[in-house]
Amino acid sequence: MIPGYDTKRPNKKNYDEFKNKFISNISNNNLKDISLMLYGSYVRGDYIPGRSDIDGVLIFPDNVIINKESLLKCSKALELGLRDTHIPIQISIADLGTSKDGRFNSFGEEFENYFLDEAKILIGPDYRNQIRYLPTKSSILHTATFNLRKSRTGLFKSFYDKENDYTSLIKNFEKGLETAVNSTKQIAYLTDKNLRTNKFSSLKFISQNYPNVNLDSIEIIKKLFQNPSKLDKIYQNFDEMIILWSNSLNTFESLVKEYIENVPK
C-alpha cells in the first residue's frame, strides 16, 4: 500500500484523529503502566501530512517478557486507529527490563538527551530517566537487539497488516520465526564467544546453560522449516500464525531475560 498511488494520502486531521483514537483505544483496555512516548517531527509540529511518520515508543512495564495479551490488544488498538487513514507510523515496542539494563535497548546514547528534551508522554508513566543507553555494542548484540525490536514491532502491526497488507503480515511472521531461531545462536555466542554456523546447532548449549528457557516453539519451527508445506498451511490461518509468533517471541525474550540475569554487564 503506497499513499498517493493506491491509497489517499492522509491529511493533518487524519494524523490528529489517529493519535486520539489510538490513545483512547489503549486507555479503554485498562492496560496498566504502559507508556506511549512520541517524538520527531509530529511532536515538534514541523511534519508534512501524507509523508511524515509518527515516531514513538510503546514501553511495556514487563521485565523483558512482554505480556502478549496486552501487546495484541495494542495491535488491535493500532488497527482501529489506522482504519481508513493509513497514517505512516514508526512506533517501536520496548519493555522496562531491557530498557533499564541497556544491552538490548535499540536506541543508542544519542537518543538520551533527545528523548528528554523533545519526546512527549501521552499515556502512562514517564520511564525516560530509567532507560540506560550504551555507546557501542558488538555486532552480534547489535543484531540481536534489532531482531528483538523487529519481531515485536511486526507482531504489534499484525492486526493492521491482516486487514490491509497480508503479504507484509506473512513476511513479518517469517522474520519473527527466523529471529527466534537466530536468537539461540546469538545468546550462545554472547555467552561463550563461540560462533555457530548451523541454524539449530546451539539448542543443546541453550538447554544446558539456560534450562529455564522453553525451546518447544523452536522445535516446532525446526519441523516447519524442514517441511515447508506445513508452514504454507499456517499462512492461511491468522490465529495459528499469531500463536506461534507469540510463543517464539516469548522464547526469544526468555533467552534475553536469562542472559541479562546471569551474565554481568
- Cell 498517493, located at residue: 4
pLDDT class of 78 with cuts at 50, 70, 90: very high
Q: Stretch 145-171: mean pLDDT, rounded?
A: 97
Q: What is the pLDDT of residue 4?
A: 76
Please give the pLDDT value at position 260.
97
Tell me: the pLDDT tens digits for 171-208?
999 999 999 999 999 999 999 999 998 999 999 999 99
Give the mean pLDDT of 243-255. Answer: 99
Per-residue confidence (pLDDT) for residue 32, from 0 to 100: 87
CATH number assigned to the domain comprising residue 19? 3.30.460.10
Give yes or no for residue 8 having a pLDDT over 90. Answer: no
User: Letter for the amino acid at 27?
Assistant: S
At 4, which helix (H) or strand (E)?
A: none
Average pLDDT over residues 106-133: 96
Residue where a domain stops, chosen among 104, 136, 168? 136
Same-domain status, 104 and 17: yes
Q: Identify whether residues 176 and 189 lie together within a single domain.
A: yes
Q: What is the mean pLDDT of residues 10-20?
A: 95
- Give yes or no: residues 132 and 5 share one domain: yes
pLDDT tens, residue by residue, 24-57: 999 888 888 999 999 999 999 999 999 999 999 9
Residues 130 and 152 in one domain: no
Domain around 129: 1-136
The residue out of 86, 119, 136 marking a domain boundary is 136
On whether both 91 and 176 belong to a single domain, the answer is no
DSSP track, 208-255: HH-TTS--HHHHHHHHHHHSHHHHHHHHT-HHHHHHHHHHHHHHHHHH
Q: Say which residues have a Cβ less than 8 Å from residue 206's Cβ, sequence separation at least 6.
A: 184, 187, 188, 213, 215, 255
Query: Do both 94 and 119 map to the same domain?
Result: yes
Counting residues of the chain whose pLDDT is more than 70, the rounded percentage is 100
pLDDT given for residue 197 in this prediction: 85
pLDDT per position as a tens digit, 80-102: 999 988 899 999 999 999 999 99
Q: 18 and 113: one domain?
A: yes
> Rounded to whole angstroms, how far apart are CA atoms 115 and 55?
12
pLDDT for res 1: 67
Query: In the predicted model, what is the mean pLDDT of residues 117-141?
Result: 94
The residue whose grid cell reads 509468533 is 245
Whole-number pLDDT of residue 200: 95
Q: Do 103 and 217 share a domain, yes or no? A: no
Cα 77 to Cα 25: distance, rounded to the nearest angstrom: 5
Instruction: Return the closest-CA partner of residue 51 out of 96, 100, 95, 15.
Output: 15
Q: In angstroms, how far is CA 33 from the centroid of its own chain? A: 18
Q: Which of 136, 164, 182 is a domain's end point?
A: 136
pLDDT of residue 14: 95
Residues 226 and 198 in one domain: yes
Gap between the Cα atoms of 192 and 14, Å rounded? 50
> Rounded mean pLDDT of the chain?
95
Q: Label residue 168 by pLDDT band (50, 70, 90).
A: very high
